[in-house]
């Protein structure tokens, strides 16, 4: 139900929301901090999206009833 409430807001503010590879964000480019720690492990910390695509059920993405 909350997706149906968010959808009109996203459409009305379409100039202020952006679709990236992970979801819907309020910024055009994600500010990710990428670094290697002392053990040589890679880390990538990004800002959160408004909505992540994995949070949306597949039925809404496919348009099935």
Radius of gyration of the chain (CA): 15
Chain segment 50-65, per-residue pLDDT in tens: 888 888 776 665 655 5
Q: What pTM does this model have?
A: 0.49
- Tell me the two tokens of residue 9: 């807001």
Q: Which long-range contacts (CB under 8 A, 24 or more apart) does 11-18 make?
A: 17/50
Instruction: Give pLDDT, residue 8.
Output: 76
27-37: b or e for each residue (b if 16 or more CB lie within 10 Å)? eeebeeeeeee
Separation of alpha carbons 39 and 9, rounded Å: 44
């Amino acid at each position: 139900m909350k997706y149906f409430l968010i959808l009109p807001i996203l459409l009305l503010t379409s100039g202020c929301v952006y679709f990236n590879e992970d979801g819907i964000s309020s910024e055009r480019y994600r500010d990710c901090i990428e670094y290697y720690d002392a053990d040589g492990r890679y880390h990538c910390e990004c800002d959160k999206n408004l909505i992540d695509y994995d949070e949306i059920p597949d039925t809404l993405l496919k348009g099935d009833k």
